[in-house]
Structure 1
């Protein structure tokens, strides 16, 4: 398999930027509901729950694509652990910030926590090739299999408890502001890796391997996609702060 250039591929960053903008719109709706500007059920209304699932799926699939490229370019474990430490540190910040705002339902295993665990698993299995497709399907199927198994074997109900439920083999969703366990989401990231490996071998142009450097508005979106972690950590505090200031100003 030919090696792609040792640089980021703009099309992946563009796709990530699109996911980030979608996420921002979703979170802005959540914040409007929190401050009473609108009344929506973000926990039960399919309009919101399906969007949340789609956004998380898109992010994790893109993360899988990125890991496929990184594995193919062979940047080494040092660079991987540096990025992993940033994600894990971000997860701790999310837990602390959510605890300050939602002490009873703070985020103890949200999307960044899940990504930190899944990145290690994906890195260790990135070379498994086409096996990642059925393994991904198996992981995703646990969303429906787990409740059946726990229902038949009540002794496994402890897997619903915090800590154990990080695995995701559960029959009851926890009450928390965000929850992204290893199962079924590892399956989505595995599919991203499998798709990325296939594209690098058969259609590298789909990932933008031969594209010239971006310019103009496209370049701005590429930059946004490259700073996804920083943006993820900052965008909610900024929006919440602005809405809180508006509520205070309005009196």
Structure 2
């Protein structure tokens, strides 16, 4: 999600790729808000919504590994530190935890997408310079998760919430597997130079690229705007009945 690369010329393709994930995330949360205010009726456990969320995670997390590869190349050339990027992501994740704890203490986010991206970025960084090795490890994690039960740990969540004072329900949680594998596959996308692919210059790509360049602010602020709009619509609709 974070813009983890800083080259002289940004990759429009990677920005649009990440911006597409931001757009899908906003659609997902907008539908969630409509459901909360009874404008829509659906179960979040329906296969459509389960896979919709997986597509969003796939795009975001592969972009994390991809941009880690570009950051490795850029930082090796410029000798610039990673700590500013890490600090921004850490503070954003901590801010999400604090805000949700104050707003919904029984469902606050203690390990959501930003928390996972922060940890996964640290884990992936040593492998960014060896994209083929990273991809092999990542693919192994994904295949082991899909084909066996070795990485499922079905009782881990219950055990953690039993021994640590955390709510048994949370607004967002990302388990390490198989998603760490997706992040580790990301560097091979950079190694294959996908970021050099050209795109048509039109309004849609411009909007998506802008959203991709500012993915973190969009993530932090979009629900405040969407939820407020849906809540206001509910108040207006109720008053007109």
Shorter-chain TM range is 0.7 to 0.9
Q: Aligned match of 1:179 in 173, 186, 191? A: 173
How far residue 86 of structure 1 moved from its aligned partner, in angstroms, is 1.4
How far residue 184 of structure 1 moved from its aligned partner, in angstroms, is 2.1
Q: How does 1:1-251 map to 2 (within 5 A)?
A: 6-42=8-44, 44-74=45-75, 75-76=78-79, 78=81, 80-140=82-142, 141-142=144-145, 144-147=149-152, 160-162=159-161, 175-197=169-191, 199=192, 204=193, 206-208=194-196, 217-250=204-237, 251=239
Calculate the TM-score normalised by the size of structure 2: 0.82
Select between 61-70 and 110-119 the one with higher mean Cα deviation.
61-70
How far residue 158 of structure 1 moved from its aligned partner, in angstroms, is 7.7
Distance 1:192 1:158, change over 3 A: closer
Distance 1:54 1:164, change over 3 A: farther
Q: Write out per-residue CA displacement over residues 127-179 of structure 1, whole angstroms, 9 at most, x where no aligned residue.
A: 233111221023333473234xx58xxxx8588414999xxxxxxxx632211
Q: Which runs of 5+ in 2 are unaligned?
A: 1-5
For residues 158 and 28 of structure 1, what CA distance do their matches in structure 2 show? 27
For residues 221 and 71 of structure 1, what CA distance do their matches in structure 2 show? 25
How far residue 221 of structure 1 moved from its aligned partner, in angstroms, is 2.6
Q: Write out per-residue CA displacement over residues 22-50 of structure 1, whole angstroms, 9 at most, x where no aligned residue.
A: 111111110111111112111x2111111
Secondary structure (helix, strand or coil) at the match of 2:68 reads helix
For residues 199 and 177 of structure 2, what CA distance do their matches in structure 1 show? 38
> Could you tell me which residue of structure 1 aligns to residue 3 of structure 2?
none
Say if 2:135 and 2:186, in contact at 8 Å, map to a contact too. no
How far residue 17 of structure 1 moved from its aligned partner, in angstroms, is 1.0
For residues 162 and 189 of structure 2, what CA distance do their matches in structure 1 show? 31
Secondary structure (helix, strand or coil) at the match of 2:150 reads helix
For residues 136 and 160 of structure 1, what CA distance do their matches in structure 2 show? 26
Say if 2:68 and 2:125, in contact at 8 Å, map to a contact too. yes
Select between 5-14 and 221-230 the one with higher mean Cα deviation.
5-14
